[in-house]
Amino acid sequence: MRVAAKTKYRPEQFRLQSFFMIYAPRLHIEMEYVIRFNVENQEYVKIADLADRTNKIAYFLNGESHSVLRDILNKDLIEKNTEWKVINCDKDSWEWNWLW
């Protein structure tokens, strides 16, 4: 992970956090939120780039090195086995490219 302003977070995480702080200030937002769950006696740990803990929505910010298939499988795994909803924010999508 690259260092952004001497933190472990990436600039796009700060942009999304700022967006929520301005447009939805009452939401409880947390960066690098850990989601743990078990499926058939196997523990899974997924780290969301940003999590809306109020509505249980996990945001994964996917840059150029992400696999679309892996992102879809992770989304299905989390949504089927937890109460969390997953939103994959892809760098090359027209709706999320403003983060990068």
The per-residue pLDDT for range 74-83, each reduced to its tens digit, is 999 999 999 9
Number of domains making up the chain:
1
46 occurs within a structural domain? yes
Least confident of 2-6, 49-53, 83-87: 2-6
Q: Residue 41 pLDDT > 80, yes or no?
A: yes
Specify if 4 maps to a domain: no
Range of the domain at 32: 11-99
Contact 16, 51 (CB under 8 A): no
Query: By the 8 A CB rule, do 46 and 32 touch?
Result: no
Decide: 52 and 29 in contact? Cβ < 8 Å: yes
Between the CA of residue 50 and those of 27, 39, 41, 42, 89, what are the distances in Å? 12, 23, 27, 24, 11
- Residue 5 domain flag: no
26 domain-assigned: yes
pLDDT band at 2 (very low <50, low <70, confident <90, very high): very low
In a domain, 33, yes or no: yes
Residue 2 lies in a domain: no
